[in-house]
Amino acid sequence: MKLELRGHNERYTVEQSMLNLFPGELPEYGTVTRAEPSWAVVELSEADGRAEIAVELSRDGKTARKTRTETLSGTDYAREGIRRRGIGRCFYEAAVALTGTRPPWGMLSGVRPDKLVTAALLSGASEADAARMLEQDYAVTPERAALALETGRIAARTARNLDARDIAVYVGVPFCPTRCAYCSFVSQSVEKSFRLLEPYVEALTNEIRAGGELARRLGLRVRAFYMGGGTPTTLSPGQLSAVLDAFENAFDTSHCTESTVEAGRPDTITPEKIAVLRAHGVGRVSVNPQSMEDSVLQAIGRRHTAADVARAMELADDFPYVNMDVIAGLPADTPTGFARTLRRCMDFAPENLTVHTLALKKGSRVLTEGLAIPAADAVRDMLDFAAPALRQHDYAPYYLYRQKYMSGSFENIGWGKPGTECLYNILMMSELCTILSFGAGGSTKLVDRDANRIQRLFHPKYPEEYISRAAGFDFAAIETFYN
Ligand code: SF4
């Protein structure tokens, strides 16, 4: 989309609005000529303490224009915020006029739409005011505002019980049995990279040991442990045990109330691995069928069937808390097939059920091979079935997040039976505390909520790079952050 900014240089705000409302468009700056297929002119002028904003948008032969006036007040910082929100709102209104559709999350473009609610509740706002803010200031639909309130309430409650030095630990294992069609993650298929497993585990355990020393030195208190991926249960029982041993020996785990391991691919779960996890006190596993339709599983390149999921769920019965992940909008799926998947998952009565919406990721086979996926309307039907069905079975939403380029611009929701919510997911998604991350492909996120400060440290992306790097952990940046 050709973008022309007049009287300002708010590129970030305009680009975020464009990506949110027209996924797939790329920004290009310059002077708009009306012959172009897709363009926007975003104009700002100021006089007498007021900002006058005008946005004219054109796409697919249609054009829409909206104007807006904002009263500027407060500090320079506050005035900047008013200006930016005004530009975003005006762009949003022009896009709605152009397309005739209102995105469920309105003009919110970030990945954590409930973050504003959590912040408002923590600063003393009433629940009604927090929900009203989303509807009025950000044009969020009443249903989505209510959803954000439900999850934001849980995040605020969790935040009130955290100490400034509380952290969570994440350990990443970027290997999977095969690569799913929708995956763009760095995860490697073990068929191609089996030889890397052993050196990876060695580098990982070394890094965890060094990180544990650092955490003790800084007085950091681990509240939750999470091993994800990839598929951690791709590791052998001995390798799994080595990683869990390293964590238990390196860190003070006396305040760690939760230990989770993703056993995502049912074809990687064996009685021996379950025994290792239980012996190490792992209380939660996630078994992720994504679909219980064999035709869909085949279409997305998972080399397992729904029957394998049932077998894995029997093995997982040993754990107090089990999560299952499903995805709405997968290739070859239909609303009827998705409803069957969800019903079959609920029959297992897992404590948590996470409903993702397919995100179109660069580099995934869905995009590179142009696999057919259900239309946005079909995805909406799937999600419209999921929410009431889950509530009927006593599940409530406890965290949510969005990704870029999601089918229909919807969201991912973690549902849980009351009192079974995964603490790590809440801490991570709502950015409530530092997540110390180990392994390739992830990032450590340092969080200082009092100072409203977040710093990310990116880890080597690929296992080879991670293994060959002598020091896998940016100690200096972490020390500086906490000192
Ligand atoms: S299980 Fe997850 S990480 Fe592994 S290939 Fe599939 S989508 Fe990617």
CATH code of the domain containing 305: 3.30.750.200
Mean pLDDT is lowest, of 5-14, 138-147, 396-405, for 396-405
How far apart are the CA of 185 and the centre of ligand 1, in A? 7
Tell me: do 359 and 473 sit in the same domain: yes
Q: Torsion angle of alpha carbons 340, 341, 347, 352, nearest 10°?
A: -140
What's the rounded Cα separation, in Å, for the pair 389 and 400? 18
**Ligand 1 in contact with 188 (CB < 6 A)?**
no
Q: Round to whole Å and give the CA distance between 49 and 374.
A: 48
Angle between helices 127-138 and 142-160 (to 10 degrees): 130
Contact predicate 243/205, CB 8 Å: yes
The alpha carbon of residue 227 and the mean position of all alpha carbons in its chain are separated, in whole angstroms, by: 16
Distance of CA 180 from the midpoint of ligand 1 (Å): 5
Q: Are residues 257 and 340 in the same domain?
A: yes
Q: Are residues 181 and 60 in the same domain?
A: no
Do the domain assignments include residue 54?
yes
Span from the CA of 99 to the centroid of ligand 1 (angstroms) = 34
Quickly list DSSP for 204-247. HHHHHHHHHHHHHHHT-EEEEEEEEES-GGGS-HHHHHHHHHHH
| 176 Cβ below 6 A of ligand 1 | yes
Residue 393 and residue 346 in contact, taking contact as beta carbons nearer than 8 Å:
yes
Q: Does residue 117 have its Cβ closer than 6 Å to ligand 1?
A: no
120 belongs to a structural domain: yes
Whether residues 90 and 209 fall in one domain: no
Cα separation, 92 vs 11, whole angstroms: 15
Residue of minimum CA distance from atom 7 in ligand 1: 183
Give me the DSSP letters along 379-425: HHHHHHHHHHHHHHTT-EEEEEE--TTBGGG--EEEEE-TT---HHH
Same domain, 411 and 359: yes
Do 256 and 342 share a domain, yes or no? yes
Give yes or no for residue 8 CB within 6 A of ligand 1: no
Evaluate whether residue 408 is within a structural domain: yes
Query: Is the CB of residue 264 below 6 angstroms from any atom belonging to ligand 1?
Result: yes
CA triplet 349, 355, 360: central angle to 5 degrees? 150
One domain for residues 133 and 169: no
The predicted-structure confidence for 410-453, as pLDDT tens digits, reads as follows: 889 999 999 999 999 999 999 999 999 999 988 999 999 989 89
- What pLDDT score was predicted for residue 455? 94
Does residue 173 fall inside a structural domain? yes
Domain interval for residue 336 = 162-477
Q: Are residues 137 and 61 both part of a single domain?
A: no
Pocket test for ligand 1, best of 175, 178, 179, 325 (most atoms within 8 A of CB): 179
Question: What is the CB neighbour count within 10 angstroms for residue 39?
Answer: 21
Q: Is 144 in the pocket of ligand 1 (CB under 6 A)?
A: no
pLDDT single digits (tens) 149-179: 999 999 999 999 999 999 999 999 999 988 8
Does residue 80 form part of some domain? yes
User: 282-319, pLDDT tens digit by residue?
Assistant: 999 999 999 999 999 999 988 899 999 999 999 999 89
113: its two tokens? 């739409």
Contact at 8 Å (CB) between 436 and 447? no
This prediction has a pTM of 0.90
d(CA 107, CA 16): 9
Q: Which of 175, 183, 309 to mutate to test the pocket of ligand 1 (most atoms within 8 A of CB)?
A: 183
Bridge partners (DSSP) of residue 459 are none
CB 352 within 8 A of CB 322: yes
- Is residue 63 classed as helix, strand or coil in its secondary structure? strand
The domain that holds 73 is classified in CATH as 3.30.160.100
Q: Whats the size of the chain, residue-wise?
A: 483
Whether 187 lines ligand 1, by a CB cut-off of 6 Å, is yes
Position 68 pLDDT exceeds 90: yes
Q: Report residue 252: phi and psi, to 5°.
A: -80, 110
Same domain, residue pair 289 and 208: yes
Ligand 1 centroid to 55 CA: how many Å?
A: 41
Residue 45 lies in a domain: yes
By three-state DSSP, how is residue 353 classified? Answer: strand
In a domain, residue 483? The reply is no
| Residues 254 and 325 placed together within one structural domain of the fold | yes
Which residue type is seen at 155? A
Tokens of 102: 């209102």
Residue located nearest, by CA, to atom 3 of ligand 1: 230
C-alpha of residue 302 to centroid of ligand 1, in Å: 9
82 plus 124 within the same structural domain = no
Residue 156 lies in a domain: no
Residue type, position 370, single letter? G
Q: Say whether both 289 and 378 belong to one domain.
A: yes
Of residues 184 and 190, the one with the higher pLDDT is 184
Count: domains in the chain: 3
